């Protein structure tokens, strides 16, 4: 950071934001390491989320759809103070030898348990608020993948109602939704422009493509797309370059199998 001012500013800005929002606090005592040598292993959680392919297929089985994600989801979830003591951050923004020690008081991005904790909180919120937001219950349980929500309905009115239910339920848990997009401009009319995926999406420009769980989705044409970075032809291709070309395409649904099989047969 001493040689890269922009990198240092980014780090300082992030740390200051955590402190201002109360998501990190200064600690004066050193964390006890006794008996915690396997702590890294103990927070590895095996969990199962909603099926990836199922979310995509169910989503596109609906006529009118929207997509959005939960803004800074992990950082909106507090954890008990006793557990926060094991989420220490060592920080020295200047050239002195003194290193300050902080404890992160929210779910920490990068830990193995973070996705499980976030989804568990979402499901708990859905159970608590289900009587008030019944349609949002199904969305949280079956149409959400980590912080991405993909839902809709068979009519514009139904989709609008589902959208408002989801907004209401998550807002009751202090979660806000951002990066909205839809194949129906009317569904975005009451969403602030700055909360949409991009300002161009207001008019559904044809060249606006949004990445959806690793795929690209064009709202105006309502179609999925793949980005292919063509490598200049080589006189002597190798197995490594062919494998690299195959790996560049993320195709969890197998839609490109008729094309990719050619390269695999060559291998």
CA angle 53, 170, 198 (to 5 degrees): 65
Cβ–Cβ under 8 Å, residues 225 and 217: yes
Alpha-carbon gap, residue 153 to 130, rounded angstroms = 19
DSSP state of 94: S
C-beta atoms surrounding 165 within 10 Å: 20
Cβ–Cβ under 8 Å, residues 158 and 184: no
Alpha-carbon gap, residue 61 to 230, rounded angstroms = 32
Alpha-carbon gap, residue 134 to 126, rounded angstroms = 9
DSSP state of 232: P
* The predicted structure's pLDDT at residue 199: 39
The per-residue DSSP string of 144-159 comes to: EETTEEEEEESSHHHH
* The predicted structure's pLDDT at residue 30: 65
* The predicted structure's pLDDT at residue 37: 42
Nearest CA to 162 out of 60, 49, 62 is that of 62
* The predicted structure's pLDDT at residue 212: 64
pLDDT means per 10 residues in the chain (267 residues)? 89 91 83 50 52 84 93 90 87 81 89 86 93 93 89 95 95 93 91 76 46 74 76 73 76 82 82
Residue 197, both tokens: 């995926």
CA dist list (Å): 185 to 29, 55, 111, 114, 134:
54, 22, 38, 34, 25
Q: Which residues contact 168 (CB under 8 A, 6 or more apart)?
A: 132, 133, 136
Model-level pTM?
0.77
Dihedral sign (CA 194, 198, 201, 205) = positive
C-beta atoms surrounding 40 within 10 Å: 10
Sequence spans of domains, the chain = 5-31+49-225, 226-267
* The predicted structure's pLDDT at residue 112: 81
Alpha-carbon gap, residue 164 to 168, rounded angstroms = 6
Question: What is the separation, in whole angstroms, between the first and last Cα of the chain?
Answer: 44
**5-31+49-225 is classed in which CATH architecture?**
2-Layer Sandwich (3.30)
* The predicted structure's pLDDT at residue 6: 93
């Amino acid at each position: 950071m001493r040689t890269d001012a922009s990198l240092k500013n980014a780090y300082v800005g992030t740390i200051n934001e955590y402190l201002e929002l109360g998501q990190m606090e200064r600690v004066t005592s050193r964390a006890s390491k006794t008996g915690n040598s396997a702590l890294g292993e103990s927070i590895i959680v095996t969990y199962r989320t909603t099926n990836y392919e199922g979310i995509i297929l169910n989503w596109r089985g609906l006529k009118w759809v929207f997509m959005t994600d939960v803004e800074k989801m992990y950082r909106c979830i507090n954890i008990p103070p006793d557990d926060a003591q094991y989420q220490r951050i060592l920080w020295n923004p200047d050239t002195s030898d003194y290193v300050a020690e902080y404890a992160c008081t929210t779910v920490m991005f990068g830990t193995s348990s973070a996705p499980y904790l976030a989804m568990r909180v979402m499901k708990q919120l859905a159970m608590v608020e289900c009587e008030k937001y019944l349609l949002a219950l199904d969305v949280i349980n079956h149409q959400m993948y980590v912080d991405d929500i993909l839902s809709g309905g068979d009519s514009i009115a139904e989709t609008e109602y589902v959208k408002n239910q989801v907004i209401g339920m998550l807002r009751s848990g202090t979660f806000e939704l951002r990066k909205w997009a839809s194949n129906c401009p009317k569904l975005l009319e009451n969403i602030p422009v700055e909360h949409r995926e991009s300002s161009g999406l207001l008019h559904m420009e044809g060249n606006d493509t949004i990445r959806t769980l690793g795929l690209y989705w064009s709202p105006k044409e309502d179609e999925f797309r793949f980005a292919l970075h063509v490598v200049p032809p080589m006189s002597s291709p190798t197995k490594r370059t062919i494998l690299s070309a195959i790996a560049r395409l993320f195709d969890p649904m197998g839609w490109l199998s008729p094309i990719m099989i050619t390269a695999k047969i060559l291998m």
